Structure 1
Amino acid sequence: LAPQPKAPPSPPAPQALELPPNASPVLSSGPSPPPAPKASQPPPSGPSPPTAPKAAPPPPPPSKSGGPLPPPPALPGSSKTRPPPLMKSGNKTDTDEDSSEAKTKLKPFFWDKVATNANKSMVWDHLKAGSFQLSEDAIETLFGCNADKKSGDAKKDIASKEAAQVVRILDPKKAQNLAISLKALSVSAEEVSCAVKEGNELPSDLIQTLIRWVPSTDEELRLRLYTGELSQLGPAEQFLKAIFDIPYIYERLDALLFMAGLPEETSNVKQSFATLEMACEELKNSRLFLKLLEAVLKTGNRMNVGTFRGGAQAFKLDTLLKLSDVKGTDGKITLLHFVVQEMIHSEGVRSARAAKEQTGSVSSVDNNDLIEEEYKQLGLQAVSSLGDELQNVRNAAILDADQLAMSVASVVHRLGKTKEFLNTSMKSLDEDSGFHRKLVHFVEQSQTDVTFLLEEEKKIRSLVKSTVDYFHGRTGKDEGLRLFVVVRDFLAMLDKVCNEVKEASKVTPKKTKTEFPHTQVFSRSPA
Structure 2
Amino acid sequence: MNTGAKSAPPAQIFILEPRKSQNKAIIIKSLAVSRKEILEALVEGQGLDADTLEKLTKISPTEDEITKILHFNGNPAKLADAESFLYHVLKAIPSAFMRFNAMLFRSTYDPEILHLKKSLQTLELGCKELRTPGIFFKLLEAILKAGNRMNAGTARGNAQGFNLSSLLKLSDVKSTNGKTTLLQFVVEQVICSEGKRRLINQTDKNGDAKRDSDSKISEGERDIEYLMLGIPVVLGLSTELSNVKKSATIDHDSFVNTCSTLTAKIHDIKWLITRCNDHEQGRFSIEMKGFLEDCEEELNVVGDEQSRVMELVKKTTVYYQAGGNSKDKGTNPLQLFVIVKNFLDMVDQVCDDISKKLQKKKQTSTGSSAPLSPLSRSPVRFPSLQSFSRTQNPGTFSSDSDDDF
Q: Deviations over 1:198-252 (max 9, x none)?
A: 1114244443444444334454344334454432111111111221212422221
Give the 3-state SS of the residue equivalent to 1:165 in structure 2: coil
Q: CA deviation at 1:343?
A: 0.7
TM-score under structure 1 length normalisation: 0.63
* Matched residue type, 2:259: V
User: Are the counterparts in 1 of residues 53 and 101 from structure 2 also a CA contact under 8 Å?
Assistant: yes
User: Which of 248, 267, 270 pairs up with 1:419?
Assistant: 270
User: Are the counterparts in 1 of residues 117 and 302 from structure 2 also a CA contact under 8 Å?
Assistant: yes
Bigger proportion of residues as helix:
2
* Matched residue type, 1:453: V
Q: Is residue 336 of structure 2 the alignment partner of residue 486 of structure 1? A: no
1:356-371 matches, within 5 Å, as: 356-358=203-205, 371=222
Return closer, same or farther for 1:334/1:475 CA change in 2, 3 Å cut-off. closer
Return closer, same or farther for 1:344/1:473 CA change in 2, 3 Å cut-off. closer
Q: CA deviation at 1:475?
A: 6.6
Q: Is residue 73 of structure 2 the alignment partner of residue 224 of structure 1? A: no
Report which of the two structures shows the higher radius of gyration computed on alpha carbons: 1
Return closer, same or farther for 1:378/1:180 CA change in 2, 3 Å cut-off. same
* Matched residue type, 2:168: L
Q: CA deviation at 1:491?
A: 0.9
What residue in structure 1 maps to residue 259 of structure 2?
Answer: 408
User: Which of 192, 202, 222 pairs up with 2:48?
Assistant: 202
What residue in structure 1 maps to residue 308 of structure 2?
Answer: 459
1:467-486 matches, within 5 Å, as: 467-472=316-321, 477-478=326-327, 479=331, 480-486=333-339
1:48-67 matches, within 5 Å, as: none
Q: Is residue 12 of structure 2 the alignment partner of residue 166 of structure 1? A: yes
Residues in 2 aligned to 1:446 and 1:308: alpha-carbon distance in whole angstroms: 57
User: Are the counterparts in 2 of residues 275 and 395 from structure 1 also a CA contact under 8 Å?
Assistant: yes
Return closer, same or farther for 1:219/1:369 CA change in 2, 3 Å cut-off. same
Residues in 1 aligned to 2:42 and 2:131: alpha-carbon distance in whole angstroms: 51
Tell me the C-alpha RMSD between the 2 structures: 3.1
Return closer, same or farther for 1:184/1:286 CA change in 2, 3 Å cut-off. farther
Residues in 1 aligned to 2:111 and 2:322: alpha-carbon distance in whole angstroms: 37
Give the 3-state SS of the residue equivalent to 1:399 in structure 2: coil
Q: Percent identity?
A: 34
Residues in 2 aligned to 1:476 and 1:320: alpha-carbon distance in whole angstroms: 17
Return closer, same or farther for 1:246/1:511 CA change in 2, 3 Å cut-off. same
Return closer, same or farther for 1:312/1:288 CA change in 2, 3 Å cut-off. same
User: Are the counterparts in 2 of residues 297 and 315 from structure 1 also a CA contact under 8 Å?
Assistant: yes
**Deviates most, 208-217 or 455-464:** 208-217
Q: Is residue 28 of structure 2 the alignment partner of residue 182 of structure 1? A: yes
Q: Deviations over 1:137-182 (max 9, x none)?
A: xxxxxxxxxxxxxxxxx7xx66xx32x4322222213211110111
User: Which of 259, 263, 267 pairs up with 2:110?
Assistant: 263
Residues in 2 aligned to 1:228 and 1:311: alpha-carbon distance in whole angstroms: 87
> Unaligned stretches of 5+ in structure 1?
1-153
User: Are the counterparts in 2 of residues 178 and 210 from structure 1 also a CA contact under 8 Å?
Assistant: no
* Matched residue type, 2:124: E
What residue in structure 2 maps to residue 114 of structure 1?
Answer: none
1:103-114 matches, within 5 Å, as: none
Residues in 2 aligned to 1:473 and 1:399: alpha-carbon distance in whole angstroms: 17
User: Are the counterparts in 2 of residues 178 and 209 from structure 1 also a CA contact under 8 Å?
Assistant: no
Return closer, same or farther for 1:369/1:341 CA change in 2, 3 Å cut-off. farther
Return closer, same or farther for 1:379/1:369 CA change in 2, 3 Å cut-off. farther
Higher relative contact order (CA 8 A, sep 6+): 2
Return closer, same or farther for 1:201/1:264 CA change in 2, 3 Å cut-off. farther
Q: CA deviation at 1:429?
A: 4.1
What residue in structure 2 maps to residue 399 of structure 1?
Answer: 250
Return closer, same or farther for 1:168/1:513 CA change in 2, 3 Å cut-off. closer
> Unaligned stretches of 5+ in structure 2?
366-370, 383-400
* Matched residue type, 2:25: A
User: Are the counterparts in 1 of residues 27 and 59 from structure 2 also a CA contact under 8 Å?
Assistant: no
User: Which of 337, 348, 358 pairs up with 2:195?
Assistant: 348
Residues in 1 aligned to 2:68 and 2:111: alpha-carbon distance in whole angstroms: 38
Residues in 1 aligned to 2:374 and 2:17: alpha-carbon distance in whole angstroms: 82
* Matched residue type, 2:192: H
User: Are the counterparts in 2 of residues 196 and 435 from structure 1 also a CA contact under 8 Å?
Assistant: yes
* Matched residue type, 2:239: D
User: Are the counterparts in 2 of residues 344 and 380 from structure 1 also a CA contact under 8 Å?
Assistant: yes
Q: CA deviation at 1:443?
A: 1.0
